[in-house]
Structure 1
Amino acid sequence: MDLLFARWRPWICLIAATLGGALVPLSMAPYSLWPAGIIGLFFIAIALRNSTPKRALFLAFAAGLALFGVGVSWVHVAIAQFGNSSQSIALTLTALFITGLAAVFAAPFYLYGRYLSRSLFGQTLGFAALWVAGEWLRSWLFTGFPWLYVGYGQINTPLSNFAPIFGIFGVSLATCLIAASILWLREHYRTHTSHGAPALALGGIILLYGAGLALAQVSWTQAKPHKISIGLMQPNIPQEHKWEPSYYSQTLDTFSELSEPLWELDWVIWPEAAIPYPYHQAAPLLDQIDQYSKTLGTVFITGIIYDDYEAYKYYNAIIARGAGSGEYFKQRLVPFGEYVPFEEQLRGIIAFFNLPTSIIHIGPFNKAGLNANGVLIAAAICYEIVYPDLIAEISRDKDVILTISNDAWFGYSNGPLQHFEMARMRAIETGRYVIRATNNGVSGFISPKGDVIKHGGRFTREAIVGEVQRMKGTTPFMVWQSWPMALTCFFIIFCCVVHQRYNKFDE
């Protein structure tokens, strides 16, 4: 029996790693099966035990393919439907994207096989710390793709209450430690050794959930008096018509119709690149809206493409007019969607590298942000809301967070729902209301605790009206951001490496 198991063990480990990778995204939107994330981590951890460096790298790569294959294969929609690409090219580019992400995900696990895989501490604590260190790496490497962090799957559990202190990586680490504790229990009962008493593992799980429940009672920020009434325009402009000159008047008519009954609210907000003209071409329209808003005391906020004639550049921007003022220019651009990496080499090869919006530049940073009749707004455009440290930094001295987006690129896929879930986590991390205005959904209002106050539908033409409050105070995460968690993970890894040198055990 032992010989038979040894023969089949590589395949069992491969299946476990792949299944584990596929389970992790099921803990996130739209499925929200939070136990799936913990079970998936457990399967991956158990598959990697006692692995050589090459074997750990291979198994982690298989897990990464499943993780991103299930979790972000929706990029195919944008490439196939709006990238003017054939199905074969779209599938090839999607496969290359997923493979690249899986390679970045797997790379740290080579170190796991070399320094951590043969001690129980390395297989549990070391695995948890290395997983989170890998998530942190993906937040900035090659400009970053901070998606599918395992902590997002716990947004509806007590573990999310670690976010105001340690951010999403703290929630991820807590999730990984629970999976590690389950592995520790399994090893104790499998080997009947004294490695990690059950009381320690169970105590760790109880402590993490107990601390999360206790932190739920803590309010790191406080609401200021006076509620702000806001109308969000969700026009549902078809992406294929958005930049067609013949459709411009219809677009503006839609906004006018949706906005008409709402101008007496405090704020009226249009989504990303709502106005289908560059800023200077739209000046007459903006002046008209500006004057009308001022007479009513209303703040008008919209996304627009800002054309800088002197620098020959275009910026993705948010502007405030009427009773508001200020501009914000996007700082984190979407590769291929807003700019083309290695542009000189790639432009013209296939139509996907020539998208009409892939001419955007990073704009000048305006620390002041937007001022809405005295309310200071931390603005984020689309993709930027998924960067935890960026949002923590720009919202530190602001009252609310506003993010505008256009997720029509991704159709009815899971991408927009994951995007909205990540906006919820930014609200928890910062203790701020988050207002999200999109072209086609999901638009809505999120409380400082991450609860969805009100939201619209998907691919619906509607105005969503809600209220938010200014928040004062600062969460710990806004002060120190992700560095403490990153350093903690590296310290745990170091301790586990030292421990393995003197305490190894084999199956």
Structure 2
Amino acid sequence: MERLAGRIILLWGWRRALTAFLAGAFAVLGQAPYDFFAACFVSFPVLVWLLDGAAVSGPAGLLRRLAPAFAVGWWFGFGYFLGGLWWIGSALLVEADSFAWALPLAVIGIPALMAFFYGFAVALARLFWSNNIGRIAALAFGFGISEWLRMVLFTGFPWAAIGYAAMPVPMLMQSVSAVGLIGMNALAVFVFAMPALLAGNRGARLGLALAVLIVAAHVAFGYWRLSAPLGPPERTLAVRIVQPSISMNEKWDAAVQDRVFGSIVELSAGPPQDASFKPQFILWPETSVPFLFTDRPDALAALGQMLSDGQVLIAGAVRSEGAGGKEGTRYYNSVVAIDEGGEIVDAVDKIHLVPFGEYLPFADWLGRLGLEKLVAGPMDFTAGASRHPITLPGDIRALPFICYEIIFPDLVAVDVGSTDIIVNVTNDAWFGDTPGPYQHFRQAQVRAVETGLPLVRAANTGVSGVIDQRGRVVDALAIDVRGVVDVTIPFHDPDTMTRFPFRLIGVGILLGFAAFAFGAKLRQRLRAN
């Protein structure tokens, strides 16, 4: 191990960059659908050894001293995000004639920009670097800060955060209810990087003991929480989730919109496998209605005929407001609730829109340069103003999140206090059968664990399903399968753990690693003097 570490430390030039790139790309195997978290126990020790050799000779200013570390982190991040986000380019191929030119921007440009976060993480860690276990704490702190910044800067995009690699199954997801994703990211890096200590004797025993202790607590807490009984349900809700599997080539084609709409209605009205099952709540995916209801009142009448007494349909649909005038018509990516009378009784608009997908940032300026949205779609969307629960039969309060809104822990957590169930609708058909839809579903699972609420999810081409309040998949449909999921969801008392201030605990973990790293650095300096 010492010989391997020594060779990596001494790498220079393109060999150092390539090694960092490959280490980052290999770490992607820890994410869904691969879930090979052992890859991270290779990638992060390699990163530590690369940083051990990231130094400049002679006197230098702060930026020059940090530049080699930043470069290592950037190449590591570029490999990680290129290997983890390449599937974004699939959306540009839906209308390849118009958008194929932008494929390099999506497949290479986005990972190159995201890599700056990991470059920053590593440079920050290098400030506290030492020659013992303290450097592992420094790396955990740096990545913890960087992953938090990915949640909030430039509208946020915390996709494939490192912490998800430590949560491949429900038993290993439960810790997030106590420490949040911020804490999980830092703890995961701390444990994944610990084998780097095997290349020397300084702090190896302490470090490995701490790693074993954290892993043991992680597993034990998950086992205990999943084993704890939920108690008898207070209420139940019979749910039908519809996965129509509509091709993106047909989704906005006016010539086939009646057939598309009719196929979804047919699925929704089909008989259940269990003759005694009667859905109270039917859920359609994001933008599943292929036209504006204001243009097709007959469609609402057809839905009224489909729905029986007491049933409610929540459907993803485009909603419009205004007509003409200075501002013109505004379009919203929404979910609408429709009752048995064929009336829209409630609606919630998407608040967190996808830049360059649902709208063009700095539209006036970029429009003059000839730029437009980089994915196909019928119109630009306007962000909604607020989110509120939709009342379902039995006074069940359902809080909807549209598409990738579900990947933001704070966005989900802020509104769930008066909610009984989380609803997530999406259209991952943009990305085909790639890792993207599986990673999206995994992040929805983790949101259920964090909030202690069951979650129902309808995706156009999958993955659609029902997740219980502890992240277990009750039932689901695979990618590209056309069908329905019928499940009766029980509602129990909220989990006590979800009332913990896990954001504060996560921040406390970050501060603890920072103090550990700073103390180790200070001690090393004092010894040197």
TM-score (norm 2): 0.86
Q: Look up the equivalent residue of 2:116 and give its one-letter code.
A: A
Q: Any conservation in 2 of the 1:425–1:450 contact (CA below 8 Å)?
A: yes
- Kindly report the root-mean-square deviation, in angstroms, between the aligned alpha carbons of the 2 structures: 2.8
Following superposition, the deviation at residue 5 of structure 1 comes to 5.2
Aligned to 1:467, the other structure's residue is in SS state strand
Q: Look up the equivalent residue of 1:55 and give its one-letter code.
A: P
- Cα 1:369–1:43, aligned 2, differ >3 Å: closer, same or farther? farther
**Take 1:76 and 1:51, find their aligned partners in 2: how far apart are those partners?**
33
**Take 1:49 and 1:304, find their aligned partners in 2: how far apart are those partners?**
53
Determine the structure 2 residue equivalent to 1:398.
419
Within the candidate set 205, 208, 215, 1:209 is matched to 215
Q: Look up the equivalent residue of 1:503 and give its one-letter code.
A: Q
- Does 2:340 align with 1:338? no
- Cα 1:475–1:362, aligned 2, differ >3 Å: closer, same or farther? farther
Following superposition, the deviation at residue 370 of structure 1 comes to 4.3
Q: Any conservation in 2 of the 1:292–1:322 contact (CA below 8 Å)?
A: no
- Cα 1:172–1:159, aligned 2, differ >3 Å: closer, same or farther? farther
**Take 1:376 and 1:222, find their aligned partners in 2: how far apart are those partners?**
20
Within the candidate set 197, 215, 218, 1:184 is matched to 197
Q: Over residues 113-152 of structure 1, what are the superposed CA-to-partner deviations in whole Å (9 max), with x where a residue is unaligned?
A: 3x12234244111111211211111011101111111121
Determine the structure 2 residue equivalent to 1:192.
none
Residues 15-34 of structure 1 correspond to what in structure 2 (within 5 A)?
15-34=18-37
Residue correspondences, number = 496
- Cα 1:77–1:7, aligned 2, differ >3 Å: closer, same or farther? closer
- Cα 1:366–1:15, aligned 2, differ >3 Å: closer, same or farther? closer
- Cα 1:19–1:238, aligned 2, differ >3 Å: closer, same or farther? same
**Take 1:47 and 1:370, find their aligned partners in 2: how far apart are those partners?**
54
Aligned to 1:472, the other structure's residue is in SS state coil
Following superposition, the deviation at residue 433 of structure 1 comes to 1.5
Percent of residue pairs identical: 24
Determine the structure 1 residue equivalent to 2:90.
77
- Does 2:435 align with 1:414? yes
Following superposition, the deviation at residue 240 of structure 1 comes to 1.8
Q: Look up the equivalent residue of 1:286 and give its one-letter code.
A: L
Aligned to 1:326, the other structure's residue is in SS state strand
- Cα 1:475–1:25, aligned 2, differ >3 Å: closer, same or farther? farther
Following superposition, the deviation at residue 7 of structure 1 comes to 9.6
Q: Any conservation in 2 of the 1:164–1:475 contact (CA below 8 Å)?
A: no
Within the candidate set 125, 134, 137, 2:146 is matched to 134
Determine the structure 2 residue equivalent to 1:424.
445
Following superposition, the deviation at residue 106 of structure 1 comes to 1.3
Gaps of 5+ in 1: 189-194
Determine the structure 1 residue equivalent to 2:107.
94
- Does 2:172 align with 1:172? no
Determine the structure 2 residue equivalent to 1:191.
none
Q: Any conservation in 2 of the 1:339–1:360 contact (CA below 8 Å)?
A: yes
Q: Any conservation in 1 of the 2:50–2:72 contact (CA below 8 Å)?
A: yes
**Take 1:223 and 1:58, find their aligned partners in 2: how far apart are those partners?**
55
- Cα 1:319–1:307, aligned 2, differ >3 Å: closer, same or farther? same
- Cα 1:360–1:64, aligned 2, differ >3 Å: closer, same or farther? same
Determine the structure 1 residue equivalent to 2:157.
145
Q: Any conservation in 1 of the 2:398–2:419 contact (CA below 8 Å)?
A: yes
Following superposition, the deviation at residue 425 of structure 1 comes to 1.1
Within the candidate set 456, 465, 470, 1:449 is matched to 470
Q: Over residues 389-442 of structure 1, what are the superposed CA-to-partner deviations in whole Å (9 max), with x where a residue is unaligned?
A: 111222232111110000111112111111111111112212222111011111
Aligned to 1:215, the other structure's residue is in SS state helix
- Cα 1:439–1:239, aligned 2, differ >3 Å: closer, same or farther? same
Following superposition, the deviation at residue 353 of structure 1 comes to 4.1
Following superposition, the deviation at residue 90 of structure 1 comes to 1.3
Q: Any conservation in 2 of the 1:166–1:477 contact (CA below 8 Å)?
A: no
Q: Any conservation in 1 of the 2:286–2:425 contact (CA below 8 Å)?
A: yes
Following superposition, the deviation at residue 23 of structure 1 comes to 1.8
**Take 1:225 and 1:156, find their aligned partners in 2: how far apart are those partners?**
30
Aligned to 2:239, the other structure's residue is in SS state strand
- Cα 1:84–1:350, aligned 2, differ >3 Å: closer, same or farther? farther
- Does 2:513 align with 1:492? yes
Within the candidate set 229, 246, 259, 2:238 is matched to 229
Aligned to 1:426, the other structure's residue is in SS state helix
Q: Any conservation in 1 of the 2:9–2:49 contact (CA below 8 Å)?
A: no
**Take 2:438 and 2:93, find their aligned partners in 1: how far apart are those partners?**
20
Determine the structure 1 residue equivalent to 2:261.
252
Q: Any conservation in 2 of the 1:405–1:437 contact (CA below 8 Å)?
A: yes
Q: Any conservation in 1 of the 2:181–2:506 contact (CA below 8 Å)?
A: no
- Cα 1:38–1:47, aligned 2, differ >3 Å: closer, same or farther? same
- Cα 1:6–1:121, aligned 2, differ >3 Å: closer, same or farther? closer
Aligned to 1:360, the other structure's residue is in SS state coil
Within the candidate set 316, 321, 331, 2:333 is matched to 316
Residues 188-199 of structure 1 correspond to what in structure 2 (within 5 A)?
188=201, 195-196=202-203, 198=205
**Take 2:96 and 2:390, find their aligned partners in 1: how far apart are those partners?**
33
Q: Look up the equivalent residue of 1:330 and give its one-letter code.
A: K
Aligned to 2:32, the other structure's residue is in SS state coil
Gaps of 5+ in 2: 56-65, 273-277
Within the candidate set 394, 399, 413, 1:378 is matched to 399
Following superposition, the deviation at residue 69 of structure 1 comes to 0.7
Determine the structure 1 residue equivalent to 2:311.
298
Q: Look up the equivalent residue of 1:332 and give its one-letter code.
A: H
**Take 1:6 and 1:229, find their aligned partners in 2: how far apart are those partners?**
57
